Structure 1
Amino acid sequence: MAFSLAEQGVIFIVGAGLCCFLFYLTLRAFYRITLHPLASYPGPTLWSISDLPSAYQTFQGTLPFKISSLHAKYGPVVRIGPNNLTYIVEEAWTDIYARKVELRKDPSQFVIVGEEKVSGLLTAPDEEAHSRMRRNLAHGFSEKALRGQEYIIRGYVDLLMQRLHENCGKGTVDIAKWLNFASFDIIGDLTFGESFNCLETSNMHKPREMLMKKQFWVQLIFDNLKSISLLGLMKKFPPLDKILLSLLPQNAMGKQQEHLALTEAKMMRRLKSQESRLDFLSEVQNQINKPSGMSKAELLPTVNLLIVAGSETTANLLSATSYFILTNPSCLSNLQAEVRNAFKTEEEINIVSVNSLSYMLAILNEVLRLYPPSPTSFNRLTPLGGCQIAGKFVPGNTSVAVNQWAANHSATNFVRADEFIPERWMGADEFAVDNRRAVQPFSVGRRGCIGRNLAYAEMRLILARLVWNFDVELAEESRDWMKNPRVFLVYEKRPLLVHLKPVIRG
């Protein structure tokens, strides 16, 4: 078939363009492998050439687990992208997240639809703004505040126990669902001064603004996190990112906007409330819009963070704790003996008395190691002039992070790293060489988790009350609960089915 001269010209131009593009990709790949400032760092060749392999793993929800296998093969620091390094050594925690002059967050990691016009606590770019916001919130997370909030927390734990007793003898119980109900109600009350009524109604709460919608708010939180994670992939491929974002279904992009609107409505009701109570926003309310306080624009993304961090992470951690102790009978037996011998009555169990349960703390620390609530890396960018990380100079504008899952599961940091052994946190000789400081589930530095004390208090109280009230057995259909988990900032929700039997006391 003959082509006209014009057609031949078009074919030639297209072919030449394609050849030039392929030549450019080849030269870029050659540069990234041999001449790039990170060329000396170990890692798989394809990952050094392109961000596509890590993007694929993120899309599959398997990136932390793949990074762990790469560290096992290549060592304590691995190049997982043309401009990305990941670490598993203790020193990297301080060098990346707790420097005297902070490393700025990598803006290409996540996408927030309708980018925040004003930054909240999590995304505040400068240290002064972050410190001011944290000072305002710190009052609500202090030890004094925690003691004052105990009656709120205990009220929901009481209701959780009541609901679990009501479901005894009715077949299997999804303990993960009930733990999510409890954590969501607690964080809602401590943040907004009103419950989501998950435990009260035994269902995922539908806020007034959502009565005509099928989407529940708790599920919306996970969908929101998932969309932030997946949309973040597109920023790695400019200028295609803008094209791809414009092609996304409105439903996908609307999840973040919908969640933000619901959060704002609750926040405004709390700020207008005249009730005197010690919660997360009590001090913030007194200083709102003052120079030393927070603006409403800053508060909105901040309370959005509090709801997510205070519900999903605690519920996931308690669910994982339930799974690990139920699949390790000796650990369960030891925990039952500790809790049931420590108290004469259930009323004695409170946020102070549970601090005496040393074996329980070891269990929680081991679960935090094996199943960190946020197994995703949180990337920082090195300064333009570069800096030292883990004893080696890293060029400027490099994205660096410690991956918690990889660090916590590394055989270089822990003996029998993949096994659930609470005794490693109790001074057992076999684990004397464990590098326990490599485990930092709440991060480190000025931006470490503000809710650490609350998280430990809530987890200890719920776990102690659960062990005091029930003999629990894992249902056969949940034996593989830990098999092939998926992560989109947090773990994808899975039912954890158990059999509950009330403890009978003489």
Structure 2
Amino acid sequence: MSPKPFLQTTGNGDGTADRISHMYFIVGFLILYIAGIAIYRLYWHPLAAYPGPRLWSITRLPHAYYTLIGRLPYILTNLHEKYGPVIRIAPGELSYTSEDAWNDIYGRMQEGGSLVKDPKQFFAPPSGIHGIMTTPNLVDHARMRRNLSHAFSEKALREQEPIITKYFDKLITKLHETRGEPVDIVKMFNLVTFDVVGDLTFGESFNGLETSELHFWVADIFKFIKIGTITGLSLQFPPLDKILLFIASKSKAVREKEAQNRELITAKLMRRLNLSASRPDFLSQIQKTLNTPTGLNTNEAVETATTIIVGGSETTATLLSGALYYLCLSPSVLSKLTAEVRSAFTSESEINMVSVNSLDYMLAVLNETLRIFPPAPGSFPRIIPPQGSFVAGRFVPGNTVVAVNHWAASHQSSNFLRPFDFVPERWNGAPEYKDDKRKAAQPFSVGLRNCIGRTLAYAEMRVILARVLWGFDVELCEESKEWGKPMPIYVIYQKEPLMLRLRAVAR
């Protein structure tokens, strides 16, 4: 008796059964392959011993989904509360919230050098040339930072103060013109901070305070950040990234918009660099060494200028908006800070970048706002070197992606007592909060890539907030009572208008 064939055909001999059998074989193989990968990642992967939700350990899809809808930092906060200060949030990625992780990931020089940026965090610029923020090359970053560091020093800030103050004056004038009617303070703070950083970068403002409207380039930047965050997810799912880039390259609208924005920033930059007169701004040193081996080339300067514009303005505007929102929700805190400001000065002209340093409670208010509403609430991934390294006291295998999530670290009950409460006193030595791990909140990051504009940011925040509270009684409008509820995050917050009434103080 002859054996039955492994694949039987149907009676009509058309091979349908063969095709169905092959299809079942392929589907079965794929199921076994996927199951094998899942089992490996759960039980035998080098990161298998780290806690975290199982599905996240198997695939990056949950991570990508919550990034896509702008809720990843909030989800990570919940996961860290459940699983602890280090969790596995993708097959090859760990998230941290502990104090010592900051220094191990971003600050300490590891064997073989500092941890490098994850190149899959950003699409490369169209020119292929990175600026100071996106370059993964530590040598290039150090060169760029050397050319900028003097412009962000305390000495430079004193020289820049007359330029900055004229925009603060314009802001206060604009606020007086509202005559107590509701005003979107988010927009007002964006106008002043973008005008300041525009002047300090290009030698000309964006004229936002003059027109009461955001310059189109500034408005486009907010859109591009969100789009860039979403499309950047494709870098984790090749060849989807190449498909998206191909589609974008064929889109006339995308090409024209990108060209328009690049031409604008390049034209502004070159006008500033071609000025013969010296001025105390961000490009003074770049101007001296442009296109030399120790300086930046033109493409690097363009990319770096864009970073400075966004990083030096939007984050400060966000912080100031958050500060006024939480102050309005905390009448006793608002009253205490207002009293400190109004008792420290006899006239508004006394409020400057030096005199505001005496406002101790204001510093506590700003530090608490930076904790509860960090302007850059996401993660900045780094890659463990091939030989592996220790992070937070535990060895991490090589090529693992690691990061501290700003929002999650600042809202962990293991780091802060009542982490969702706005309590400036925790920064002033209140005994109740003596066990807070304050170094877990690092809104300006740490190490070689920490925020170069920290000094400027604190100066702007202190002076603007002091002048607002000196000149106005502030009240939150009813429609903005829920403004601080978790808002979508795409690198920065997607903020709604924050409507306040600012009634001028009679003196």
Match of 1:138 in 2: 149
Report deviation, 1:257: 5.4
The CA distance in 2 between the partners of 1:84 and 1:253, in whole Å, is 34
Match of 2:177 in 1: 166
**Are the structure 2 counterparts of residues 246 and 287 from structure 1 closer, same or farther at C-alpha, using a change threshold of 3 Å?**
closer
Report deviation, 1:321: 0.6
**Structure 1 SS opposite 2:38:** helix
From 8, 19, 44, give the equivalent of 1:35. 44
Report deviation, 1:348: 0.3
**Are the structure 2 counterparts of residues 7 and 364 from structure 1 closer, same or farther at C-alpha, using a change threshold of 3 Å?**
same
Match of 1:219 in 2: 219
The CA distance in 2 between the partners of 1:236 and 1:76, in whole Å, is 25
Contact 2:124–2:130 at 8 Å: present in 1 too?
Answer: no
**Are the structure 2 counterparts of residues 438 and 255 from structure 1 closer, same or farther at C-alpha, using a change threshold of 3 Å?**
farther
RMSD (Å) for aligned C-alpha atoms: 1.7
Match of 2:163 in 1: 152
Match of 1:238 in 2: 238
Report deviation, 1:256: 5.4
The CA distance in 2 between the partners of 1:245 and 1:14, in whole Å, is 33
The CA distance in 1 between the partners of 2:310 and 2:31, in whole Å, is 44
**Are the structure 2 counterparts of residues 41 and 312 from structure 1 closer, same or farther at C-alpha, using a change threshold of 3 Å?**
same
From 343, 346, 349, give the equivalent of 1:341. 343
The CA distance in 2 between the partners of 1:440 and 1:450, in whole Å, is 14
**Structure 2 SS opposite 1:378:** coil
Matches within 5 A, 1:411-422: 411-422=413-424
- Does 118-127 or 242-251 show the bigger shift? 242-251
**Are the structure 2 counterparts of residues 117 and 244 from structure 1 closer, same or farther at C-alpha, using a change threshold of 3 Å?**
closer
Match of 1:186 in 2: 196
Give the letter aligned to residue 150 of structure 1. Answer: E
Instruction: Please say if 1:104 is aligned against 2:120.
Output: no
Report deviation, 1:308: 0.9
**Structure 1 SS opposite 2:94:** strand
Give the letter aligned to residue 161 of structure 2. Answer: E
The CA distance in 2 between the partners of 1:4 and 1:420, in whole Å, is 77
Residues matched between the structures, number: 493
Report deviation, 1:385: 1.0
The CA distance in 2 between the partners of 1:173 and 1:294, in whole Å, is 41
**Structure 1 SS opposite 2:466:** helix
Report deviation, 1:244: 4.2
Contact 2:487–2:495 at 8 Å: present in 1 too?
Answer: no
Contact 2:74–2:407 at 8 Å: present in 1 too?
Answer: yes
* Residues 300-353 of structure 1: per-residue CA shift (max 9 Å, x gap): 111111011011111111110110001100011011100000000100000000
- Does 292-301 or 307-316 show the bigger shift? 292-301
* Residues 338-396 of structure 1: per-residue CA shift (max 9 Å, x gap): 00000001000000000110111000000000111111100001011111000000001
The CA distance in 2 between the partners of 1:423 and 1:2, in whole Å, is 85
The CA distance in 2 between the partners of 1:3 and 1:467, in whole Å, is 89
Report deviation, 1:236: 1.1
Matches within 5 A, 1:376-387: 376-387=378-389
TM-score for the superposition, normalised by structure 2: 0.94
Match of 1:297 in 2: 299
Report deviation, 1:271: 0.9
The CA distance in 2 between the partners of 1:394 and 1:331, in whole Å, is 43
Match of 1:212 in 2: none
Give the letter aligned to residue 17 of structure 1. Answer: I
**Are the structure 2 counterparts of residues 113 and 283 from structure 1 closer, same or farther at C-alpha, using a change threshold of 3 Å?**
closer
The CA distance in 1 between the partners of 2:123 and 2:18, in whole Å, is 42
Contact 1:32–1:49 at 8 Å: present in 2 too?
Answer: yes
The CA distance in 1 between the partners of 2:132 and 2:402, in whole Å, is 21
Report deviation, 1:104: 1.1
From 269, 287, 290, give the equivalent of 2:289. 287
The CA distance in 1 between the partners of 2:86 and 2:149, in whole Å, is 35
From 338, 360, 363, give the equivalent of 1:361. 363
Give the letter aligned to residue 105 of structure 1. Answer: K
Contact 2:47–2:92 at 8 Å: present in 1 too?
Answer: yes
Match of 1:374 in 2: 376
Give the letter aligned to residue 67 of structure 1. Answer: L
From 488, 497, 500, give the equivalent of 2:499. 497
Contact 1:375–1:490 at 8 Å: present in 2 too?
Answer: yes
Instruction: Please say if 1:477 is aligned against 2:487.
Output: no
**Structure 1 SS opposite 2:474:** strand
Give the letter aligned to residue 230 of structure 1. Answer: I
Match of 1:213 in 2: none
Runs (5+) with no aligned partner, structure 2: 1-9
Pair member with larger Rg: 2
Contact 1:190–1:279 at 8 Å: present in 2 too?
Answer: yes
Contact 1:224–1:255 at 8 Å: present in 2 too?
Answer: no
The CA distance in 2 between the partners of 1:504 and 1:112, in whole Å, is 54
The CA distance in 2 between the partners of 1:231 and 1:111, in whole Å, is 9
Match of 2:4 in 1: none
Match of 1:209 in 2: none
Report deviation, 1:4: 5.9
The CA distance in 1 between the partners of 2:162 and 2:217, in whole Å, is 25
**Structure 1 SS opposite 2:403:** strand
Instruction: Please say if 1:126 is aligned against 2:128.
Output: no
The CA distance in 1 between the partners of 2:245 and 2:287, in whole Å, is 37
Contact 1:260–1:304 at 8 Å: present in 2 too?
Answer: no
**Structure 2 SS opposite 1:446:** helix
**Structure 2 SS opposite 1:307:** helix
Report deviation, 1:5: 2.4
Match of 2:22 in 1: 13
The CA distance in 2 between the partners of 1:331 and 1:3, in whole Å, is 86
The CA distance in 1 between the partners of 2:235 and 2:432, in whole Å, is 46
**Structure 2 SS opposite 1:235:** helix
Matches within 5 A, 1:239-258: 239-247=239-247, 250=251, 258=260
Contact 1:121–1:302 at 8 Å: present in 2 too?
Answer: yes
Contact 1:223–1:255 at 8 Å: present in 2 too?
Answer: no
Give the letter aligned to residue 24 of structure 2. Answer: G
* Residues 176-211 of structure 1: per-residue CA shift (max 9 Å, x gap): 110010011001000110010000111122xxxxxx
Matches within 5 A, 1:408-447: 408-447=410-449
Runs (5+) with no aligned partner, structure 1: 206-215
**Are the structure 2 counterparts of residues 430 and 109 from structure 1 closer, same or farther at C-alpha, using a change threshold of 3 Å?**
same
The CA distance in 2 between the partners of 1:92 and 1:478, in whole Å, is 36
Report deviation, 1:108: 1.4
**Structure 2 SS opposite 1:5:** coil
Match of 1:204 in 2: 214
The CA distance in 2 between the partners of 1:357 and 1:8, in whole Å, is 83
TM-score for the superposition, normalised by structure 1: 0.94
- Percent of aligned positions that are identical: 52
**Structure 1 SS opposite 2:502:** strand
